[in-house]
Amino acid sequence: MSNTIRDGDIVQVIVFNLGDERYGVDISQVREIIKPTEITRIPNAPEFVEGVINLRGQITTIINLRKRFNLEPKPIDQNTRIIVVEHDGAVIGMMVDNVTEVKYLSKSDIEELPPVITAKSEAKFLKGIGKLPDGLLILIDLNKVLNEEEYERLSKHV
C-alpha cells in the first residue's frame, strides 16, 4: 500500500478538470501552476507531448493530459493551466483544462480502485477515488503519468 495517496490523516489535493471529469493530485507533487506561454513543438515527439516552454531559463516539456488520457483534444484557452511537477530532477508540465480549487480529503474519504482497473499498465498513475459532498474525484499520481522509458525519451528530446 506504499503506492497510495493515503499517507497521513489528511491530504491536500489540487482539483483540476479534463472535460467533464474532475481529477485530484496531492499538492506535495506540485511545484507550481502556470498559465500556458508560447509552446515550441518538438519533431518526432510522442503525440501527447505539446512541446517545450522556457520556464525561467529551464526548458520544460509540456504533456497534454487530454491526449495522454485519450480524450478529445481541446484548444488552449484562458482557463488552461500547466501543473508543473519535478520527477527525478526532470521538470515536466502537465496541461489541464483548468484548476478549480484545493480540497482536503481524509483517509476515510478515499477509496481504492477496483483491481480490474489497476491491473492495466496504462492505469498505474491512478491512485484512488476521493469522495466529496458534491461528487467523486479521480486521484492521480502525476509522477506516474509517464513511465520511466517515456521520461528518459523526453529528456533526450530536450
Say how many C-beta atoms besides its own lie within 10 A of residue 90's C-beta.
15
pLDDT at position 107, please?
Answer: 85
Tell me the per-residue pLDDT of 67-109, one tens digit each, with 9 for 90 and over: 988 899 899 999 999 999 887 777 889 999 999 999 999 989 9
Tell me the per-residue pLDDT of 100-142, one tens digit each, with 9 for 90 and over: 999 999 989 999 887 777 666 567 788 889 999 989 999 988 7
In 8-150, the DSSP E strands lie at 10-18, 21-26, 30-34, 49-55, 58-64, 81-87, 90-96, 98-106, 110-111, 126-132, 135-140
Q: What is the CATH T-level fold of the domain 10-157, as seen in this structure?
A: OB fold (Dihydrolipoamide Acetyltransferase, E2P) (2.40.50)
Structural contact between residues 83 and 93, judged by C-beta atoms closer than 8 angstroms: yes
The reported pTM is 0.83
Query: Alpha-carbon distance 103 to 16, whole Å?
Result: 11
Query: Alpha-carbon distance 92 to 84, whole Å?
Result: 6
Local structure of 14: helix, strand or coil:
strand
Tell me the per-residue pLDDT of 49-74, one tens digit each, with 9 for 90 and over: 999 999 999 999 999 999 988 899 89
Among 62, 61, 63, 72, CA closest to 21 = 72
Among 100, 104, 88, CA closest to 143 = 88
Confidence of residue 3 (pLDDT cuts 50, 70, 90): very low
